[in-house]
A and B are shown apart, each in its own frame.
Chain A
Amino acid sequence: MSSTQKKIIPYILLGALGIFGPILFPNYTLQIAYLWMMVLMASTWDLLGGQMGYNSLGNITFFGVGMYVSAIVQVSFFYEGGVGEYTSAMGSIKPVYTEYEYYMGLFWGILAAGFISLLLCLVFSTFMFGLRGPYFAIGSLGLAIAAAELTITVDYVGGASGISMPLFPGDIEFRSTFFYMICFGLTILAHILLRWIYSTQFGLAINAIRDDEDKAEAMGIPTLKYKCIGWCIAAVFMGCIGAVAGNMAGFIDKEVAYPIPTFGIFMVAMALLGGKGTLWGPVIGAILFHVVKETTWTYLLNLQWVALGLILIINIVYFQEGIMGWLQRKYPEFFGIVVDTSTRDTKEEA
């Protein structure tokens, strides 16, 4: 098996899962859509956490911001009364959109979500990247909590009572297929982009930042710029997927938009489970985590959150290298890593 064949196999598997999954299991289309969402979140988290060494606990901020931005855009585009009137009616106003209006609103909503997330990320970058290591993690977690708490004080977007999204004009089965395709498409797009990025100089530069930022800066790498670009890529994707997730949920409030203890931690757990700092690790971790979670969650009754905490602890304390890391250590030849055993033997003798 040549190396190009080896590289193609996972894509074929992934593509097969993506295309045949909803055809074989039409009742689980939305669940599989959430699976792609998880893959996207874990992959974009890994861009910062794994490849750049900046462990963010606050990427979920952009998810929530994207969700709210797209809600505002979608409502204000075609509803004359404006967003304030729509939200103050607490969901009793249900404007009927034509198909054209709905899809235009959604399209611009997703674009605006990505754009606002980008702007917000540029603002955050100015004061967050002076923080290293744990301070960055705590600071970004603080950003997410602050964003969630500040959002519910804004009456314009519904405050604590939330905001309901426009109704989908088509029938319900087409609805799930439609959102499935968006999630799948975004994830594939993100994966190809990340794959390309990791193969360029930019990928090497952010790896250098992870290994030793001071040295990287001394070598002339504009670290702040690169860190900023890295976070912005993650933020744009998080914003877009947030917009899609808001439409899939149909109703937005603080818990849906800023799921810090769920999605916010899931994405880190998934990337760590699969093995951080690898392209495929987050994908494998996300698929495994999501499938296990969806199949066992309902049987655990009240214990699912306890199980989540346990998984996180066991994963981090006892199985830190992740699946990909373990595979690479176990079968280095498969990954094209050559282990020079001659030097190892001499060391053992000495």
Chain B
Amino acid sequence: MLSNLELLFYWAPIINVQIILEGIFVGAVFALSAYGLALVWGVMNIKNLAQGDFVIMGGYMAFSLHAMHVPLPLIMIAVMVGMFMFGWVIYIIMIRRIIDQDMFVSLLATFGLSLLVQQVMNIIYGPEVQTVDMELPIYDAFDNMVTIPSSKILSLFFAAVIAAGVIIFMKKSRLGQAIRATSQDPRAARVLGINTDRVYAFTFAINAALCGAAGVLVSIIWVIQPFYGITYSVRSFAIVTAAGLGNLPGVITAGFGIGLFEKYVGVIVGTAYEVAAPVSILLIVLIIRQISMKRNRQVVK
């Protein structure tokens, strides 16, 4: 561990550039799925534990489409549309019935959904680790000390475009305004003629689409496996807990933060802690929030 630190900060500080870039690339993906979670959590008070499995599901959709030689932009659009419809169906089947229930119900029901999704993917695709190889060039910098695959730059670009699209949609469109109104006060929104049921369905579907987009990016820059979903769920929860609901700049910052943290942990203490890192950051965030709330004699609700 010490020798790793020495290497990082004394012998080859240029490796830091590589780690920071990697952290930013993965952080963008985390921020995308976390923003979806913040949306459903804030608007309809559903804590979606199947978030990570939606991500992996999007990744597998991309995997199948890529096997059919569909170009990347089309894959992106197709997966987002497919996940949007999937989210809408899930809303009608189960989420609608648990929306007014106590909060643990949503957690457990979506945990069941997460089990279901991962097992179906396991049956269809098998438990092997897969990746979508776009065969894009890889750039070198600083005497080959830093390598930047162009697929990662592309993924960052896609994440930025999607995030910008969602922000503009939420700010400008009528439906976006309706979503924000519903999140502020569902009863008042209903009184003023907003069909809140449709707003909820749309919000959940958008969340699924955002997760699907994140999944496409994960599949091209990283690996996917049916059981990797839980770590994305945990990361999303950590990001949202740290950033708060409906706070997009906070979500993006926290996403990059968690990406950097994980990459540094992976390099310094070893890859054996790769899964433990997001979980421990979730616990740390929860504890810090608790301490800061306790000062005002409040609890984390």
The residues of A with any CB-CB pair to B shorter than 8 Å are: 49, 55, 57, 127, 130-135, 137-139, 142-143, 145-146, 149-150, 152-153, 261, 265, 268, 272, 302-303, 305-306, 308-313, 315-318, 320
Taking CB atoms, residues of chain B closer than 8 Å to A127 are 287, 290
| Docked complex Cα distance between A320 and B108 (Å) | 11
Taking CB atoms, residues of chain A closer than 8 Å to B282 are 138-139, 142
| Docked complex Cα distance between A211 and B273 (Å) | 39
Do the beta carbons of B94 and A313 come within 8 Å of each other?
A: yes
Q: Using a CB-CB cutoff of 8 Å, which residues 3-54 of chain B contact chain A?
A: 47
Do the beta carbons of A139 and B108 come within 8 Å of each other?
A: no
Q: List 24 A-B contacts (CB under 8 A).
A: A130-B294, A131-B290, A131-B300, A132-B299, A133-B301, A134-B47, A135-B301, A137-B107, A138-B107, A139-B282, A139-B283, A139-B286, A146-B276, A146-B280, A149-B276, A306-B116, A308-B119, A309-B113, A309-B117, A309-B119, A312-B109, A313-B113, A315-B112, A317-B94
Give the shortest distance, in Å, between B91 (CB) and chain A (any CB): 12
Given contacts A302-B122, A312-B111, 4 further A-B contacts (CB under 8 A): A146-B280, A305-B119, A305-B122, A317-B98
Do the beta carbons of B98 and A316 come within 8 Å of each other?
A: yes
| Docked complex Cα distance between A315 and B108 (Å) | 10
| Docked complex Cα distance between A317 and B119 (Å) | 20
Among A146, A261, A272, A317, contact of B283 (Cβ-Cβ < 8 Å): A146
Do the beta carbons of B116 and A152 come within 8 Å of each other?
A: no
Q: A150-B276, A309-B119 are in contact. Are A145 and B300 (CB under 8 A)?
A: no
| Docked complex Cα distance between A268 and B111 (Å) | 11
| Docked complex Cα distance between A77 and B112 (Å) | 42
| Docked complex Cα distance between A272 and B107 (Å) | 13
Do the beta carbons of B109 and A152 come within 8 Å of each other?
A: no
Do the beta carbons of A130 and B299 come within 8 Å of each other?
A: yes
The yes or no answer to B101 lying at the interface (CB within 8 A) is yes
| Docked complex Cα distance between A55 and B104 (Å) | 7
Q: Using an 8 Å CB-CB cutoff, how does the interface string of B211-255 with A read, 1 for contact, 0 for none?
A: 000000000000000000010001001000100000000000000
Do the beta carbons of A308 and B115 come within 8 Å of each other?
A: yes
The yes or no answer to B67 lying at the interface (CB within 8 A) is no
Do the beta carbons of A149 and B300 come within 8 Å of each other?
A: no
Give the shortest distance, in Å, between A222 (CB) and chain B (any CB): 16
Do the beta carbons of B300 and A135 come within 8 Å of each other?
A: yes
Q: A145-B234, A153-B272, A317-B109 are in contact. Are A261 and B97 (CB under 8 A)?
A: no
Q: Which of B115, B230, B241 is most buried by chain A, counting CB atoms within 10 A of its CB?
A: B115
| Docked complex Cα distance between A137 and B234 (Å) | 12
Give the shortest distance, in Å, between A107 (CB) and chain B (any CB): 33
Do the beta carbons of A142 and B107 come within 8 Å of each other?
A: no
Give the shortest distance, in Å, between B251 (CB) and chain A (any CB): 17
Do the beta carbons of A133 and B111 come within 8 Å of each other?
A: no
Do the beta carbons of A132 and B119 come within 8 Å of each other?
A: no
Chain B residue, CB-CB nearest to A153:
B272
Do the beta carbons of B234 and A306 come within 8 Å of each other?
A: no
Taking CB atoms, residues of chain B closer than 8 Å to A261 are 115
Taking CB atoms, residues of chain A closer than 8 Å to B123 are 302-303, 306
The residues of B with any CB-CB pair to A shorter than 8 Å are: 47, 94, 97-98, 101-109, 111-117, 119-120, 122-123, 230, 234, 237, 241, 272-273, 275-276, 279-280, 282-283, 286-287, 290, 293-294, 299-301
| Docked complex Cα distance between A139 and B115 (Å) | 19
| Docked complex Cα distance between A121 and B131 (Å) | 41
Taking CB atoms, residues of chain B closer than 8 Å to A272 are 108
Q: A134-B104, A305-B119, A309-B119 are in contact. Are A143 and B283 (CB under 8 A)?
A: yes
Among B97, B108, B275, B293, contact of A130 (Cβ-Cβ < 8 Å): B293
Do the beta carbons of A149 and B94 come within 8 Å of each other?
A: no
Give the shortest distance, in Å, between A225 (CB) and chain B (any CB): 16
| Docked complex Cα distance between A265 and B49 (Å) | 13
Do the beta carbons of A142 and B108 come within 8 Å of each other?
A: no
Taking CB atoms, residues of chain A closer than 8 Å to B299 are 130-132
| Docked complex Cα distance between A135 and B116 (Å) | 23
Taking CB atoms, residues of chain B closer than 8 Å to A139 are 282-283, 286
| Docked complex Cα distance between A62 and B220 (Å) | 39
Give the shortest distance, in Å, between B38 (CB) and chain A (any CB): 14
Give the shortest distance, in Å, between B5 (CB) and chain A (any CB): 18
Q: A130-B300, A133-B104 are in contact. Are A145 and B279 (CB under 8 A)?
A: yes
Give the shortest distance, in Å, between B298 (CB) and chain A (any CB): 9
Q: A130-B294, A135-B301, A306-B116 are in contact. Are A320 and B286 (CB under 8 A)?
A: no
Chain B residue, CB-CB nearest to A311:
B112
| Docked complex Cα distance between A49 and B104 (Å) | 10
| Docked complex Cα distance between A178 and B77 (Å) | 61
| Docked complex Cα distance between A130 and B104 (Å) | 17
Give the shortest distance, in Å, between A140 (CB) and chain B (any CB): 10
| Docked complex Cα distance between A149 and B283 (Å) | 14
Q: Which of A127, A142, A146, A265 is most buried by chain B, counting CB atoms within 10 A of its CB?
A: A142
Task: Give me the 8 closest cross-chain CB pairs, A-B, nearest first.
Answer: A312-B112, A309-B116, A309-B115, A130-B290, A149-B276, A305-B119, A313-B112, A55-B104
Taking CB atoms, residues of chain B closer than 8 Å to A135 are 241, 286, 300-301
Do the beta carbons of A131 and B109 come within 8 Å of each other?
A: no
Do the beta carbons of B111 and A265 come within 8 Å of each other?
A: yes
